[in-house]
Amino acid sequence: MKKIIATLFALCVMSSVQATEMAVVDFRAALLQSDAGQEAAKEPKQQIAAMDARLKKEQEALNQMAQDLKRDELTLSPDEFQKRRQALAENDNKVRSMAAAMQRQAKELEQNLIQSLTPKGEAALKSLIEERKLDLVLNRQLSLYANEKSDLTNELVARINKDK
């Protein structure tokens, strides 16, 4: 009798457990790695490179000011030394705020790029989900572990490229 009850219980449990098809994807990476993402990123990359070059030029000028001040420190009057030191501090603040502004602008450029590519990526992901009959797709960064077979990122890049 116990064996029959145990068998019935096991059958009930097995029939109530459904297999859930899951996958993970790095959606942002897929968008940026796709051909459309690479093409759309050319102009923002050029803008960021130009900003970076300008920032490096400002940092070099700041370093030169600091070296000049250090070199001339003993020959300057206290007032002149203080003025140059204050100018150095002001330029340092200017370069720091410029760097922060450039970081914000670079982040904004990337966000705009992602927004422009998202509809195409979502359509490609939706077709992959339907094709594979997936019940759940997680962001790869949120998962603790996912084996290679469950990661759809490369497949999504290929699908986005195919659906040009």
pLDDT of 18-29, one tens digit each? 557 889 999 999
Residue 145 belongs to a domain: yes
Per-residue pLDDT, 21: 85
> Over 60: is that where the pLDDT of 10 sits?
no
Per-residue pLDDT, 5: 58
Domain that holds residue 81: 18-162
Tally of structural domains, the chain: 1
Residue 104 belongs to a domain: yes
* Token duo for residue 120: 């195409």
Angle at 86 between CA 83 and CA 87, to 5 degrees: 85
52-78 pLDDT per residue, tens: 999 999 999 999 999 999 999 889 899
Residue 12 belongs to a domain: no
CA–CA dist 22, 28 (Å, integer) = 19
73-111 pLDDT per residue, tens: 889 899 999 999 999 999 999 999 999 999 999 999 999
